[in-house]
Structure 1
């Protein structure tokens, strides 16, 4: 409709159906307001913990054009001249709330009326959202945030205000902020049923997440027998997060801190946890591959060995009982197949035996162990002194097979009051020695764990090969010069 002249007009819409149903709605319309002046507002329940039962609404003016005066009509017979009033409605229901803005020189005048639902009589219609940095590899400098709608009530329309002058109508928008800093982000939702209308705002921090903020989690089957598709996830994050968003890799998400999730099928799932604490400027994301229903365990094999002279008999099996092919490597260049095999070595000594299985599922798994054949009189004693100048040392020494074959195991012995250690009954082979000082003259930070060869890295360590005359294997501890003690984080995946 084209009006002949500017002014205020009362506009009424009347509808009627063939079945005799009729209704009308009336609004005050201002025509041809001065350019650049536009009334706008948002609102939300004051009781953020009990939105569905709150009668008290915070109204926030968001008008353009620098108005100087505000007039609110709350649709329940009460009014206000405040810019951002808080109003308590007497009952739940729908109210037509109107805001009129103007200034003293009459260059700005506008009016807007919106239906406001108090107490959410539609039931379950509540706007809320979470967010996390989109760049999970560079969280500290990422200005791009992924927003995720978490609203209830099956909304069909979304309106995002990112607090930087831009908006979006997507359900889960990806937004690039112009600068680091704090932004007030608001989400408004509307449902197919006009009774559903809700608004939610939170402070969002962009970029430069706080130090000490780190997303971490572990998981385990809820069934103690480890044969369950029901997985318990446990948040282990640092930085005191207040919000969590889990993506379980099967299309399902959760905002709980420690969710229990039931997978429909066994398998390997890419699970991600995003954490946030806007107040502490903490945002982080971590992802792990999660094995459900012991898929990996079904690949494992084990074997035993018995030795008679230079002949060893091996018996292998699958942990899961699955059918598989068995391939043996005896450590002397010879191989064999079958789950039960015997092999005669040409000379005695220490050998690494490896069993590789391929299950009917196509899963390949290898395990290894060491066996000794020959004269047990060849076993020797390894001993020496651990020194830190002339200072007394307390601690332990570890004896490990060279190359880190850990299922063979590391032996441990204590350092006595004179700094001397001793291993007896050591079979022939090549080993590394590592001295681990607990304290030197009472100082727990003065010296570092040190390998034989007086180095702190095993790649540089000197290996011990038994079979020659017994020697004293002394270690001079490396001083902890210039290292400042303090809190730190070491973490990883096994």
Structure 2
């Protein structure tokens, strides 16, 4: 009797061990799947302590995920370890310590490593990033402190004379240039600097420029062009002068025949463009050039022209602009009629010819005509002080300039830059002279310094339904750097172009307050947005795939109380019911449209290729349960449509079945993906269901300052996923072990029953 009883208990013990104790291989290879047997751990932890106290007692808090029971192995980085779940540890010396936690349960192992996590009595280490680091002026950069250790103070130097004591400041660069940025951080134990040289690049106005090497030589001549433009262009257009072009930034081009080629580069940034031209001399063609003296003469006075052409021209052809010509190398010419004349020289040799044209080159008895324009950067429009560059646009070749800026200051430069120091409106005067006279241009109230900003905005729509997005766009001309919006419904927004959703019907005022570093101004548009209870159309179908004929029940999901519905089922049929049922009788793919209406308006939604009918089966299945302990019995039910005639199941543990509705036992811990392939005479379809449970074995490494590892979501089945390679989970024990245990237990039970 005792031997029989012992045999029974032994069998039960072996059975329990076989089914309850997982092997290492299962823990190491388990993956997220549709069927989950046990949950592997995910290590994570926090710490609470005073950075600046020595010695420092640190309270570690385990926040790991996974099935219990669980064990913990801590390494505090100073040679001390612990197996408690939430240990306390005292650091006795200054230093920066890396902490490691390894957790284990029956389903696997996970390790979290936080590098330089504990800093005791140490000065911080400065580090930062900025975004963006390049762009056009004005450019706003968001700086992010990435310093490690305890920081009590931040000091920023932005390289343009400005600074900040914020941890993560936002700074605007107003002028073009390359800026060094320095961050200094400190605590009771010391300071640290991080400097990035020429870290911020702010581009100004576009200026086209390029290098060409070589710029002359025998044909064929291969030339490499290097763009040297400033202002951060975004597009390049090259015209090589021989009919060929390029859109590369740094192109190479081969000139096949001798000649003098005008190579033009045009750069673009947004709506701005700039161009420059260079001459490429191929095959020793003359490089035409000349000078004339004097360039301001009375009628009948001689002008001496001197050839300065390169590459040894042997013939010259002059056009003096008054119908007169010459073939002398260095001619003199007298003009009979007053005027401004353009002079051209064409120089030739055996290799080819080149022409140099100088527009408006000779002034014969013409007094100047004064004209000018001011140039200010948009962001400085209302600045005080305000810098203005004046551009001389006078004609008829003036030789002297006299400026009166209206604030008591003057200049004799041709293109002066002037700084207005006080608010006000100023009249600017320019007087120009040459040998034949003078002229004055007066522009009243030309320059305004200070004053209110021109604040304006627009919405993409002013009548909308409840819950619909309204997009606002700032139109202010003062180049604001800060925007505060009041949408009239108790909510506010920031930024130049916010989106807003009104949740209730009504008529709303909208206010924008726009600021730059010098001033703030506000504009309100009264009763600007009207919000009505316009429906927002939406719907679902109870099925979207199946065999023809296929009856589909559509359910209206529209919001805002529609009172009328118009359906277009995509096959020529329609309905005005709220929740119609429609039968698709032919094979095809159909787009479905619903228009929902009420007294305030209507809305339409179209779901493209929403319904598909086919004779081939459409795979689908379900499991009666998805999570449990081993041994885990799952009943699978085939839900496929279109009358499949064959079924092929892959349970993810190396086993399969061809039954329609199989019953399967998972003997080992793990996470398993399941797939079903169904077929009939018209084709086949597969569905693959997986999950998102935590992996069985993982190492999480975090750089200080560390945050807790992200919690892994629970296993979720994916209804339809592409048929990919299906991972399997290695069994921790041989299949013979649980089978043997079961047999022993059954034999013991028989012996007991016979007694």
Query: Is TM (by shorter chain) over 0.5?
Result: no
Pairwise TM-score range, normalised by the shorter structure = under 0.3
Find the structure with the greater CA-based Rg: 2
- Structure of higher RCO (CA pairs closer than 8 Å, 6+ residues apart): 2
- TM-score of the aligned structures, taking structure 2 as reference length: 0.18
Q: With structure 1 as the length reference, what TM-score do the two structures score?
A: 0.25
